[in-house]
Amino acid sequence: MANFLIDSQEKRTYDAIVIGSGASGGWAAKELCDKGLTTLVLERGRDVKHIKDYPTASKGPWQFDHRGTVPLDERKDFQQTRFVREETFHWAIKDDEQPFIQEKPFRWFRGYHVGGKSLLWARQTQRWSDFDFEGPVRDGFAVDWPIRYKDIEPWYGYVEKFAGIAGNKDGLPELPDSECMPGFEMSCIEQYFKESLQKNYGSRYLIQARCAHITDPQQIHVDQGRHKCMNQTMCNRGCVYGAYFSSNASTLPWAMKTGKLTLRPHAVVHSIIYDEKKGRATGVRIIDSNTKEPIEFFAKIIFVNASALNSNAILLNSTSSRFPNGLGNDNGLLGKYVSWHNYRGKANAQYEGFKDKMTDGRNPSNAYIPRFRNVRKQETDFLRGYAIGVAGGRGTFSDTEMIGDQLRENLLRPQLGHWHVATWMMGECVPEEKNHVRLHMDLKDKYGIPQLIVSCEWSENDDKMVADYVEQSKEMFEKAGFVNITAVDTKSPPGSDIHEMGGVRMGLDPKTSLLNAWNQLHHCKNVFVTDGACMTSTGSQNPTLTFMALTARAANHAVEELKKKNL
């Protein structure tokens, strides 16, 4: 028996453990395996094999039993999943998988399967600039970032080349150029709006999206077995071409090819094990979701990539006599300064021109207006600013108010409508201490893990920013000569943007932050947190590219430190 245990513990020991197999965890796995470390990826959800496990990927609308609608009895256990559709129902999470407590209204979107939300995302990728990294210190909120653009710049390029980014080099200091392949063309209405903004504002730019799609495959993509985007715009079902970046198409199979990766699905991480004598973390406790059996795994370094709120939850649940309030939490700030993006504002308009033009084909991406408010100096009564997503096209409609031959005729020959433009704001939220997550003292989930309490609310700064977006959208549309303009505050609750960040923020001072400049816990250096939880502030860019670049940077640093025997 004793022998069995020793043998068993040996078998459960790796050089590195990565918690979570999503966008950031996939990068940790790839980098650590590439550098020769035996790496265990622990993933709470089921396995999803690239191509094989995308059951609806190539189906036509007529091939779904209910034309896409999920019948009421089948969706009754999925009340928390928004946009329940037959095409994507395979990604839905049952409500009892992980109940959480909304102390204030909060939407928490999760992807619990191998690949995480990298299979579900909209793939927009913009770099941060020093206008973002210097934001907290310039505007006096949160704490100073311990890094600047120059520290992450090479890692942006590194991640972009491997992932494959489509876009344009626009030469804007506030949105540094990416390493990119040809972008997706703008429609004529977007092009027209771009020119109108230039003429009327000068410093408001409408640019092609920068997004994680392969439009001109390079050798590095061929080596991953990935192909050019076919513009099907069915990305959220899983892409059989591997054209958009996901862990499943890219980083995980790459790591697997090294022979160093062990991927363990159905492994719900409970907590990180801290050894008081060694003064370091030694492993991770999981609950097997099939058997409910607790199992421990061991490693020299641990990467926490369970997505922002889950990474907070895992650290808060990792208590010991050295860290009674959660791993690394000497200053009591773990779980605090949680933040997100402000997507409350939406606007629409129509244009009566370009009647001789129509769109042809599909565009899997959108145009983008980088942040123009308060970039170089403070100019409004709210802090920071917002970027704007833009989608413009020309739809068709059919009069279906009848039956018989005329109905068939109308459906076969739809009429072209006006050109229309839809925009949505992507605002930077200023992290505040009161916005936090914590563990419930008594309530547990079905794995015996304390439930997470999420306590987040909008601030006056957010309200003012939405009002500005609404006003500015109307003005920009009017100046472009658009008609039927609407611009509204949807009042959607925090979390609706799906960009949760913070709670384990990076910083220079262990008294006011949890992580150092390399994403190591100040007080437990062999634990690295490199998903959204590490973010000191939120910027207005889509955040995942930055999570991935920080992860690759931290993983390479971890390997260097291991070599130097510093960990």
Ligand X SMILES: Cc1cc2nc3c(=O)[nH]c(=O)nc-3n(C[C@H](O)[C@H](O)[C@H](O)COP(=O)(O)OP(=O)(O)OC[C@H]3O[C@@H](n4cnc5c(N)ncnc54)[C@H](O)[C@@H]3O)c2cc1C
Residues near ligand X (CB under 6 A) are: 19-25, 42-45, 109, 111-112, 116-118, 120-124, 267-269, 305-307, 310, 314, 498-499, 531-532, 542-544, 547
CB of 338 to ligand X, least distance (A): 14
Instruction: List b or e across 366-386, with b for residues whose CB sees 16 or more CB atoms inside 10 angstroms.
Output: bbbbbbbbbbeeeeeebbbbb
**Is the Cβ of residue 188 or residue 238 nearer to ligand X in the bound state?**
238
CB-neighbour burial class of residue 540 (10 A; exposed 0-12, middle 13-18, buried 19+): buried
CB of 214 to ligand X, least distance (A): 16
Q: Tell me the three state secondary structure of residue 554.
A: helix
**Is the Cβ of residue 306 or residue 527 nearer to ligand X in the bound state?**
306
Q: How many CB atoms lie within 10 A of CB 49?
A: 12
CB of 546 to ligand X, least distance (A): 8
**Is the Cβ of residue 117 or residue 522 nearer to ligand X in the bound state?**
117
Cβ pair 232, 238 in contact under 8 A:
no
**Is the Cβ of residue 480 or residue 501 nearer to ligand X in the bound state?**
501
**Is the Cβ of residue 127 or residue 384 nearer to ligand X in the bound state?**
127
Q: Tell me the three state secondary structure of residue 304.
A: strand
- Three-state SS for 251-286 is HHHHHHHCCCEEEECCEEEEEEEEECCCCEEEEEEE
CB of 93 to ligand X, least distance (A): 9
Question: How far is residue 301's CA from residue 427's CA, in Å, rounded to a whole number?
Answer: 35
CB of 344 to ligand X, least distance (A): 16
CB of 119 to ligand X, least distance (A): 8
Q: Tell me the three state secondary structure of residue 474.
A: helix
Cβ pair 136, 145 in contact under 8 A:
yes
Question: How far is residue 397's CA from residue 411's CA, in Å, rounded to a whole number?
Answer: 9
Question: How far is residue 43's CA from residue 23's CA, in Å, rounded to a whole number?
Answer: 12
Tell me the HSE value of 458 on the side-chain side, using a 13 A CA sphere.
23
Tokens 């150092």 found at: 516
In the numeric block, which tokens belong to residue 143? 């704490």
**Is the Cβ of residue 188 or residue 454 nearer to ligand X in the bound state?**
454
CB of 187 to ligand X, least distance (A): 19
CB of 551 to ligand X, least distance (A): 8
CB of 501 to ligand X, least distance (A): 9
The residue type of 6 is I
CB of 359 to ligand X, least distance (A): 21
CB of 269 to ligand X, least distance (A): 3
**Is the Cβ of residue 263 or residue 269 nearer to ligand X in the bound state?**
269
Closest residue to ligand X, based on beta-carbon distance? 22
**Is the Cβ of residue 152 or residue 306 nearer to ligand X in the bound state?**
306
Question: How far is residue 519's CA from residue 529's CA, in Å, rounded to a whole number?
Answer: 6
**Is the Cβ of residue 487 or residue 545 nearer to ligand X in the bound state?**
545
**Is the Cβ of residue 21 or residue 435 nearer to ligand X in the bound state?**
21
- Three-state SS for 200-220 is HHCCCCCECCCECECCCCCHH
Q: Tell me the three state secondary structure of residue 366.
A: coil
**Is the Cβ of residue 196 or residue 541 nearer to ligand X in the bound state?**
541
**Is the Cβ of residue 121 or residue 254 nearer to ligand X in the bound state?**
121
Tell me the HSE value of 108 on the side-chain side, using a 13 A CA sphere.
25
In the numeric block, which tokens belong to residue 212? 């994680």
Tokens 């979390």 found at: 495
CB of 98 to ligand X, least distance (A): 8
Among the listed residues 511, 503, 559, the one whose alpha carbon sits nearest the alpha carbon of residue 303:
559
Q: How many CB atoms lie within 10 A of CB 355?
A: 11
CB of 532 to ligand X, least distance (A): 5
Question: How far is residue 245's CA from residue 180's CA, in Å, rounded to a whole number?
Answer: 13
Question: How far is residue 155's CA from residue 168's CA, in Å, rounded to a whole number?
Answer: 19
**Is the Cβ of residue 196 or residue 289 nearer to ligand X in the bound state?**
289
Question: How far is residue 435's CA from residue 453's CA, in Å, rounded to a whole number?
Answer: 11
